[in-house]
């Protein structure tokens, strides 16, 4: 049985090639006969069920957190592994320990002993020598494309490839589809996202392959959504998880700002956010106002951060304004409220019943990743923040946006069916979205671009020597065009506030919050212009 890796009911066979979606191929039986009704890809009824082995690959902080927590929601009888891929932005051990907090028993050991990064070739070779049933490719776009391509080229009996995007992925992004077009399954987290990506993929000539999964960090609110109850009920909801577990309520003394590395992008806007947080700390000395960062100095993030918030905090900031990192869940344990522009952390807060605010002072648009929050009940502005007004998520918004019933998730079922097709030797190889590969040198350039210094191949350095000057010229040309004709960000809506929505106030540590809103309303222009809030 040379060359075959036979496990249980597994039968090795050649893959079917063509521009056919591997998931849609489930509509035809493996023997090529006429379609049958129901789920044709299931194992025969007389076959003994066997343990499915799934390996997750992660690199950056956000992909590590998402990938590990998605794996942890897999069926209890699946055997799970997780490996870190060495890339220029691989998470540090401390970031990994933070990302791996709260995993199930199969992965719980990772929090104390995160896997050391391995280079792409070593990881793919391990998959070739001992192929699992499926691989979750939870990697940043260019690295995901590289790994998916390497698995297709180097593993004849390849595992099923699953990929996806962490957190909020609306509006749809073509790059996300482009890099992951050859994956067999692409996981998204809301009905709204699936519709948007499905439409964009078709327009780009890519057969849709999107599946639905409840965002792991929003799962605690899903039961409420299933029964039609609101995930939050105002101030009383700040007891969060402790209300459902019966544990004593934690001390609630913090307003937590979830920082993002590139939203907003400009230094002046980020400095303005810090001024609002300083004003909030001065207005509410009973609170800790926490700037919650995702990386310590020297650590990498999924997106580059040119202007870190800690560098923008003034020397005379009040003592109750603090900068901290660590797991978001631990910060939410102490949170009176969560504030952000558009971080996925706001969904974690809503899931726990913690009031939240998505700041709209810079507008609402694609460049801010906050279109999705329109009509959520969470929109607000800097005056709401300093005033202590926070929102609760509206039940009417929930089902289409991340809080659908878990019974509507289909990623596990579709992955199971794809693994069964692999068993039958009928797994379809999807076509890449990249139509022009440019041969060996082009692949070497893409690899070098994805891995940076982690790629030490001679061909990679040659490709860099040829490609880097070309890329530099293109970037300079784009910058020159932008100077002559600067693009305007697409703003889909004007700023809005909790005051306009008639929202109530939140009760926090030390009494009722929100006193003085009329006075602060008169000072909105002063706050926005960066004046001393005094």
Q: What is the pLDDT of residue 533?
A: 32
Tell me how far CA of residue 124 lies from CA of 22, 147, 150, 241, 451, in angstroms: 21, 7, 7, 40, 14
DSSP label at 88? T
Q: 187 - beta bridge partners?
A: 164, 211
Q: How many angstroms separate the CA atoms of 199 and 218, rounded? A: 25
Do 221 and 354 contact (CB within 8 A), yes or no?
A: no
Q: How many angstroms separate the CA atoms of 441 and 459, rounded? A: 7
Q: What is the CA radius of gyration of the chain?
A: 24
Q: How many angstroms separate the CA atoms of 117 and 89, rounded? A: 11
CA 16, distance to chain mean position in Å, is 31
Q: What is the pLDDT of residue 460?
A: 65
Q: Which of 2, 8, 23, 12 is nearest to 422 (CA)?
A: 12
Do 128 and 154 contact (CB within 8 A), yes or no?
A: yes
Three-point CA angle 459, 463, 465, nearest 5°? 115
Q: Is-cis flag, bond preceding 289, omega within 30?
A: no
Q: How many angstroms separate the CA atoms of 466 and 53, rounded? A: 42
Q: What is the pLDDT of residue 265?
A: 85
Q: Which two tokens stand for residue 61?
A: 């902080």
Q: Which tens digits make up the pLDDT trace of 306-358?
A: 788 889 999 999 999 999 988 888 999 999 999 999 999 999 999 999 999 99
Q: What is the pLDDT of residue 296?
A: 52
The helix (run of H) or strand (run of E) holding residue 152 is helix 141-154
Q: Which tens digits make up the pLDDT trace of 429-449?
A: 999 988 766 677 677 667 767
**Helix/strand/coil for 477:** helix
Q: What is the pLDDT of residue 176?
A: 95
Q: What is the pLDDT of residue 501?
A: 66
Do 18 and 428 contact (CB within 8 A), yes or no?
A: yes
CA 289, distance to chain mean position in Å, is 25
Q: Which of 97, 178, 195, 186 is nearest to 446 (CA)?
A: 178
- Residues in the chain with pLDDT values less than 50: 1-46, 221-246, 297-301, 303, 504-505, 507-534
Do 382 and 183 contact (CB within 8 A), yes or no?
A: no
Q: How many angstroms separate the CA atoms of 80 and 54, rounded? A: 5
Do 289 and 280 contact (CB within 8 A), yes or no?
A: yes
The helix (run of H) or strand (run of E) holding residue 81 is strand 79-84
């Amino acid at each position: 049985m040379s060359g075959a890796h036979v496990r249980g009911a597994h039968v090795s066979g050649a893959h079917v090639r063509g521009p056919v979606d591997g998931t849609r191929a489930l509509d035809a039986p493996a023997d090529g006969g006429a379609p049958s009704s129901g789920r044709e890809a299931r194992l025969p009824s007389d076959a003994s069920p066997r343990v499915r082995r799934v390996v997750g690959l992660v690199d950056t902080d956000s992909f590590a957190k998402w990938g590990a927590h998605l794996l942890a929601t897999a069926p209890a009888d699946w055997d799970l592994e997780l490996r870190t891929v060495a890339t220029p932005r691989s998470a540090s051990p401390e970031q990994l320990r933070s990302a791996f907090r709260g995993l199930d028993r199969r992965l719980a050991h990772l929090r104390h002993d995160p896997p050391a990064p391995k280079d792409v070739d070593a990881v793919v070779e391990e998959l070739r020598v001992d192929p699992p049933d499926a691989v979750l490719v939870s990697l940043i776009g260019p690295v995901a494309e590289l790994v998916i391509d390497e698995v297709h080229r180097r593993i004849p009996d390849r595992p099923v490839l699953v990929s996806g995007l962490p957190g909020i992925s609306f509006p749809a992004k073509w790059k996300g589809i482009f890099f992951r077009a050859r994956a067999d399954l692409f996981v998204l987290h809301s009905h709204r996202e699936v519709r948007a990506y499905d439409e964009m993929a078709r327009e780009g000539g890519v057969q849709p392959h999107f599946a639905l999964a409840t965002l792991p960090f929003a799962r605690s609110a899903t039961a409420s959504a299933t029964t039609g109850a609101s995930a939050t009920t105002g101030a009383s909801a700040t007891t969060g998880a402790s209300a459902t577990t019966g544990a004593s309520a934690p001390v609630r003394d913090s307003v937590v700002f979830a920082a993002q590395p590139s939203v907003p992008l400009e230094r002046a806007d980020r400095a303005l956010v810090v001024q609002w947080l300083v004003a909030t700390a001065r207005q509410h000395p009973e609170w800790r106002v926490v700037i919650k960062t995702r990386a310590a100095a020297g650590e990498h993030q999924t997106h580059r951060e040119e202007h870190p918030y800690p560098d923008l905090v003034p020397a005379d900031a009040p003592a109750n304004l603090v900068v901290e990192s660590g797991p978001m869940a631990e910060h939410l344990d102490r949170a009176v409220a969560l504030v952000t522009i558009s971080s996925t952390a706001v969904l974690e807060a809503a899931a726990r019943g913690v009031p939240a605010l998505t700041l709209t002072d810079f507008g609402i648009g694609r460049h801010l990743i906050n279109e999705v929050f329109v009509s959520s009940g969470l929109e607000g502005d800097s005056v709401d923040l300093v005033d202590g007004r926070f929102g609760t998520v509206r039940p009417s918004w929930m089902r289409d946006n991340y809080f659908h019933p878990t019974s509507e998730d289909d990623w596990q079922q579709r992955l199971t069916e794809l693994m069964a097709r692999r068993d039958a030797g009928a797994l379809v190889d999807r076509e890449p979205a990249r139509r022009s590969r440019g041969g060996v040198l082009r692949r070497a350039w893409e690899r070098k671009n994805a891995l940076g210094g982690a790629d030490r191949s001679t061909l990679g350095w040659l490709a860099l020597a040829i490609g880097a000057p070309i890329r530099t010229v293109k970037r300079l040309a784009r910058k020159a065009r932008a100077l002559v004709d600067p693009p305007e960000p697409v703003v889909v809506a004007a700023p809005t506030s909790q005051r306009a929505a008639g929202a109530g106030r939140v009760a926090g540590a030390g009494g009722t919050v929100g006193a003085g809103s009329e006075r602060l309303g008169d000072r909105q222009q002063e706050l926005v212009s960066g004046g001393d809030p005094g």
